[in-house]
Amino acid sequence: MKTSPMEHSAPKAYRSGVVAVIGPPNAGKSTLLNRYLEQKIAIVTPLPQTTRNRILGIVTGADYQMIMLDTPGLHKAKEMINQEMVRIAMDTLGEADLVLFLADAQAVHALAGDKKRLEKRYAEFTRYFSKIQCPAILALNKVDQLAKEELLPMMDRFTNLHPFCTVVPISALEGDGTDTLLQTLVEHLPVGPQYYPDDIPTDATERFIVAELIREKIFLRTRQEIPYSTAVLIDSFKENPQGGPVVIHATILVERGSQKGIIIGKQGKMLGEIREAAIKEIEKLLCCKAQLKLWIKVKKKWTSNEQILRELGM
């Protein structure tokens, strides 16, 4: 029996599943998540080890739903908080249908003149690759910082280290290659249902994102060990049913008294700047006016305190 062309083209199958985004700190994992969500859910700073939790983003298209897990950067962890961060990232491998390993091509290229360090870096990558049990795609990020000819040998090298389904060069910041990467990720997802409604970008609570935004402002304004000695806990979050501002009280934890002084700054200048910058973003997130009250508390060695790490969702 003759069939018409319409009858030949079966409808495209709906694809869905979990993509775990793992990779070294500062590779651009959170930048990529925000790009696909078209909004800021994960905080981004130029410092490594910015993300401390697993952050779930839901990217929904006409025929797919990709549940993307942004994770803390993989690094050699000594402190309890760092070990927890790496554990959180590696645990996502257990729930992933697909892994997206994101590497910073610029950082790898920067080692090109130092063969010993470069080989050490590739060996570190290989250790992480060996833990991947499901199909994996490699994205080489920050290609806006590299010449094409510098990229090709790197792509070859990576494909020799692990049987990646494919390697995609991207710039998460500028958007080069990110549409191709999204298409590739979707093609490798299993056929499945839509798990979440169309308009839900994340399962993270507003409280969590607000705490993260405050932490980002601290990361962007402080140096040395201070960002890593800081955490933010939301004490209260009161919406106003009459349409007035949301009133948020938050505590910034630090490890030492001297750090408290630095965050407060001369005549409270630093804390004021952190507050102002955080309010701007919080208002954008919540689409309403916000009042933010910040307290600073010294809690010695909180980075090794299991109870506090649990309170921080780790």
Ligand X SMILES: Nc1nc2c(ncn2[C@@H]2O[C@H](COP(=O)(O)OP(=O)(O)OP(=O)(O)O)[C@@H](O)[C@H]2O)c(=O)[nH]1
Residues that bind Mg ion (CB under 5 A): 29-30, 50-51
CA distance 32 to 73: 14
Give the angle 31-32-33 at the CA atoms, nearest 5°.
95
Shortest approach of ligand X to residue 142 CB, angstroms?
4
The C-alpha R_g of the chain, in whole angstroms, comes to 21
What b-and-e string marks burial along 44-68, b requiring 16 or more CB atoms within 10 Å of the CB? bbeebbbbbbbbbbbbbeeebbbbb
Of 20, 22, 26, 274, which lies in the binding site for ligand X, with binding defined by CB under 6 A?
A: 26
Helix (H, G, I), strand (E, B) or coil at 225: coil
Helix (H, G, I), strand (E, B) or coil at 132: coil
State yes or no: residue 168 binds ligand X (CB under 6 A).
Answer: no
**Among residues 66 and 102, whose Cβ is nearest to Mg ion?**
102
**Among residues 136 and 246, whose Cβ is nearest to ligand X?**
136
Let me know: does 290 contact 246? Beta carbons within 8 Å. Answer: yes
Per CB under 6 A, which of residues 57..96 are in contact with ligand X? 72-73
**Among residues 31 and 60, whose Cβ is nearest to ligand X?**
31
H-helix or E-strand spanning residue 66: strand 64-70
State yes or no: residue 51 binds ligand X (CB under 6 A).
Answer: yes
Phi-psi category of 175—alpha, beta or left, where left has phi over 0 and alpha has psi -120 to 50?
left
Residue 171 contact partner, candidates Mg ion, ligand X, none, CB within 5 to 8 A by sort of partner: ligand X
Per CB under 6 A, which of residues 172..231 are in contact with ligand X? 172-173
Of 19, 22, 31, 210, which lies in the binding site for ligand X, with binding defined by CB under 6 A?
A: 31
State yes or no: residue 46 binds ligand X (CB under 6 A).
Answer: yes
Tokens 């257990």 appear where? Answer: 94
State yes or no: residue 305 binds ligand X (CB under 6 A).
Answer: no
Binding footprint of ligand X on the chain (CB under 6 A): 25-31, 44-46, 48-51, 72-73, 141-142, 144-145, 171-173
